[in-house]
Every structure is written in C-alpha cells, then in structure tokens.
Chains A and B, each alone.
Chain A
Amino acid sequence: MSRSAGMPLARPEIVREPVSSGAFGIVEKPLSTWERITNVGAVRKFALLVLLAVVWETYARALNNPLLFPTFSATVEAFFNGLFGGDLFTKALTSLRILLIGYGAGILCAGLLTVVAITSRIGTDLLELLTSMFNPLPAIALLPLALIWFGLGAGSIVFVIIHSVLWAVALNTHSGFLSVSNTLRMVGRNYGLRGLPYVARILIPAAFPSILTGLKIGWAFAWRTLIAAELVFGVSSGSGGLGWFIYENKNQLEIPNVFAGLFTVIVIGLIVENVVFRIVEARTVRKWGLQTA
C-alpha cells in the first residue's frame, strides 16, 4: 500500500458506546472496619504507646533493679500516688503556670519583633542579626545572669523561658511571612489593607503553617528550659516545680518518684502536642488546605 510522502494516513472514525456499570466488579465499595480503624492516627499512636510501655515493663522486670530502672507499673503507681496523695499535682501546676507566663511573653515579644521586621528593611536586618546571635545561646547559660538580675524565683525562670521561646518563634514567623505568595499580598493591598490590619488579616493566616511550627518548637524549648532551670536552683525556693520534684526525690533515692516526675513532663507534652496543637491544626491549616493530612 503506497501513499504520497507527507500525507497523513486516512483512517476511519471510531465511535464506541461505554460499557454499562453492571459489567464492572466494583465501582465504589466502603472500606472494611479494620481499614477504617487503622486510618485513625490516634489509634495507631496509642498502639505504639502500649507497645513502648510493654517493652519498658519487660526490660525493667528482666533487669530487676528498682533503684536504677523501675518498672512501668511502679512508675504509674508512683505517678498516681503523687498526683492524688503527694504534691506532684501542685508541683506540676506551679511549673505549668510559670511555663505559660514565659511562653506567652515570649510569643508576644516574637510578634512585636517580626512586625517590626516585616515593615522595614532595617527591622529585617535587626531580626536576622539578633536571631543569629542569640538563637544558638542555650537559655540555661543565661540563668546565672538572670539570677543576679531578677533574684531567686519565678522572674529568673520566666526570663530564660522567654529567651528560649522568642528566637525560635520569631525565626519561623518571619520565614513564614516571607513565603506568603505575592498574589495574596497584592490581593490584600488591593482591598486597601495596610499596616497592622494587613499583617493580621493577610500575613498571619497565610503564614500560619510556619507560625504553628514555630509555636510547637517554642513550646518544647520552653519545657526543656523550665525543667533544667528548676533542677539548678529549685533547691532554695520553697515551692519548686517539677524539676525540683525530680531533684528532691533523686536525693532521697525515691527513683520511682523521679520517673513519675519525668513521666508527668512526657504526659503533658503528649497532651499538648496531640490534643491542643492537633485541634488548632485541624481547625486552621488543614481546613484551609494549607497543609495536607
């Protein structure tokens, strides 16, 4: 069969009827109960927690040395005894109160600093400079200085917590602001928004994924700093927090209580991360499609 060069081959038109859906095996089928249960993140995480507890219990029983490594059950027992009989609850509350004050003040300072940074070039330079200077500085290294400035007590701890929260939150918020798409910026200005309303109604929601990451990191930093600071000088303050609780019980060789103190820190951390931050995420960035799954 020959055709002239460059001419397309003549082909007949093809028209087909789609097969009726009855011919398919499955078009749409609900997932099995097991698949749906394992799709829930909380269930998977809880299973992992149970597994970790079992490993802990088995290892501690095999070791059989309550002074070095108490079992999971002994720790839980000490935890509940401390919570309902002892002073673990009040110590945890003392710690949490100081933590929240420091965390809140740190976020406020970070907010002010980033607003200054976003509105002017010299402000950006200032933020970048301060962050690179102070972010690597461990908060606990400032404690001796804080003790001289603010004396023994809550003031010093709040100061070092602010230091640990401020730079992490400011850095993340600022990088979030910088990554807001140019289209959204122009949209905001098109509406006639300027200054603080512009930051509050356009930049903050648009940069919320980064801000949230900063808040999470800041929260973890604040905890670390708090417990470490309390370990150092809880000694001389009458109503110490969790760090002091741990230190005191170590001195009395009440090792299950030491573990119960650490356990409390872990439990609070788990609740904040998996309940508080998760709810915030679900109601904001996930609902808005800024972050997937």
Chain B
Amino acid sequence: MSVHADAAEPLLAVRGVTLQYKTKDHLVTATYRVGFDVHRSDRFILLGPSGCGKSTLLKAVGGYMKPVEGEIRLKGEAVTRPGPDRMMVFQEFDQLLPWRTVKENVMFPLRASGRLPRKAAEEKALEYIAKVNLSGFADSFPHTLSGGMKQRVAIARGMAMEPDILLMDEPFAALDALTRRKMQDELLALWEGTRFTVLFVTHSIPEAIKVGSRILLLSPHPGQVKAEMDSLPAGSHGADVSALEQRIHAMLFADAVEETRDDQARVHA
C-alpha cells in the first residue's frame, strides 16, 4: 500500500494555480490555472518563452508569492512562505553572501535554520563543495570566483541543505556557452550520485531536453500548460534530440506565426 501510495502521491502538487502581480500601473496575470505534479527524483523542467510566467511560478513554489487561485502543496502541506525545505538557486551571480567565504556560504543555511551544529555543518559543507569540485576554494570570498564557480557554490549550498526540492531559476543563463554545457553535465553527474528532486526553469529547448527528465511546456501571456512530456534519456542520439527539439519548437511557437510571418517574408525576399 505504502509503496503504491508513494508512487501516486506527488512530492509537489501544483493545482490550478493563477498568479497575478502588480506593476506600477498594471495588474498582470502571469499564469492561468497551471497544474502539474513533481514526483521524487524528477528533473522537472518548466519551459517556455519569456512572458510565460515560468519564473513567477517558481517564485510561488518558493513561497515568495501567493496564488490568487489554486494551491501549491509540498508533501501534502500548503506552501505559505519561503523556507529552507525548498532551496533556490538563482540566475544572478550576486546570490552568494559577499561577506562569507565559500565554505561559510554553504554552511550558513544549515546553521541559520538550526539544522546542524557548527562542526557537522562544516563537514557537510566541505562534502558538497568537494562534489562541485571547489575544494581548493573553500576559504575564498565570492568576489574572487568566476561566474561558473559562483553558480557551483550556489548549487552546493542548495544541495547541502538536502531540501525536499531544489528550485533552479535559469541558473546557467548568465554563463558563457562552454561553461553552461559543462555545468549541465556536472548537474547530471550530481543527480546520478544523489537523485535529488529539482524543478528547473529555462527558456532554452536544448537545455530542457538535456537536463530534464520531464518537461512542462507553457504558452505565454498568460502562462498556461501547453503540454507535459518525457524528455529523452541521457546520451540520446543527435537525430532523436533534434526531432524532439523540432517538436517542442513547433508547439511553443504555433501561436506566434502571425508575428513572425512578416519577418519570414522579409528574409526570403
């Protein structure tokens, strides 16, 4: 019974969530009645063009904003405010505390949430810093690291907390293309080791296919679920990957033809 129930009961349940936020003179609906389930050890991708509300959705799961409609449940409990059971990895490089070293940055949430005493927190921090290959930089301050290294520290910090779910908001978007590919490989290798659950936001179709195990496609203005599909297993052949890429591309941009027809005409002229 319990095994069966585990399989049926999702870790994160998002049900009919409508999100709205206010700008200076508009009330914007970011997502409209979005629903999906994330199960344990999923690499769940929210994919869509800009304006589809994927980052807003992630913020809502993070507890930074309340849905106007619908509910978000983590292990059956409604999400009401931010907390260390849902660690976030942001896109920005300034997410590390500049006044703490790499090791202290990874230790800080463990200590601040009162989860571990100093000694144990230090050991755990060093363990995860080693996992992201930064052992040599444990005592460096963030401003001395490169962008890719900062993101690795942020990932180590998120993983060291061993959260129920890791929330990643386009964590590699600000990196150069070579570093980004390396980081994607590293993330997959880390996942092979610990099988953590991750909810990952991206606007890059190749990244979604590479990193994800399950992909949710969102349409823009406001964000609505377009499709939910399995990604390809790691190391799939180029032809399969590009076929899926084509398919996703066609689905995402099916509505946008009106906008692009002029451009196409100009290109072919």
Contacts and interface: CB of A to CB of B under 8 A. Distances in A.
Contacts of A189: 64, 81-82
Contact of A187 (B83, B88, B99, B144): B88
Interface string B80-99: 01111011101010110111
Contact of A183 (B92, B113, B143): B92
B88 A186 contact: yes
Nearest to A194: B81
A206 B142 CA distance: 13
B99 A183 contact: no
B220 interface: no
Given A192-B82, A192-B84, A187 B95 contact: yes
Contacts of B97: 184, 187, 202, 205-206
Contact of A289 (B62, B109, B141): B141
B143 A186 contact: no
Interface residues of A, number: 21
Contacts of B141: 287-289
Nearest to B105: A187
A191 B112 CA distance: 7
A13 to B, nearest CB: 21
Given A181-B92, A183-B92, A186-B88, A191 B109 contact: yes
Given A191-B113, A201-B112, A289 B98 contact: yes
Interface residues of B, number: 24
B172 interface: no
Contacts of A181: 92, 94
B94 A192 contact: no
B108 interface: yes
A284 B143 CA distance: 13
Contacts of A208: 99
Contacts of B94: 181, 183-184
A142 B261 CA distance: 73
B88 A190 contact: yes
A288 B99 contact: yes
A153 B62 CA distance: 57
A208 B90 CA distance: 23
B84 A190 contact: yes
Contact of B82 (A190, A287, A288, A290): A190
A197 interface: yes
Interface in A160-212: 181, 183-184, 186-187, 189-193, 197, 201-202, 205-206, 208
A197 B114 CA distance: 13
A212 to B, nearest CB: 13
B112 A288 contact: no
A192 B267 CA distance: 52
A187 B112 contact: no
A22 B99 CA distance: 42
Contacts of A191: 84, 108-109, 112-113
Contacts of A288: 98-99, 141, 143
A290 B98 contact: yes
Contacts of A289: 98, 141-144
B95 A183 contact: yes
- 3 tightest Cβ-Cβ pairs between the two chains A and B: A289-B143, A288-B98, A189-B82
Interface of A: 181, 183-184, 186-187, 189-193, 197, 201-202, 205-206, 208, 284, 287-290
Given A191-B108, A202-B97, 7 more contacts: A186-B82, A187-B97, A191-B113, A192-B83, A287-B141, A288-B141, A288-B143
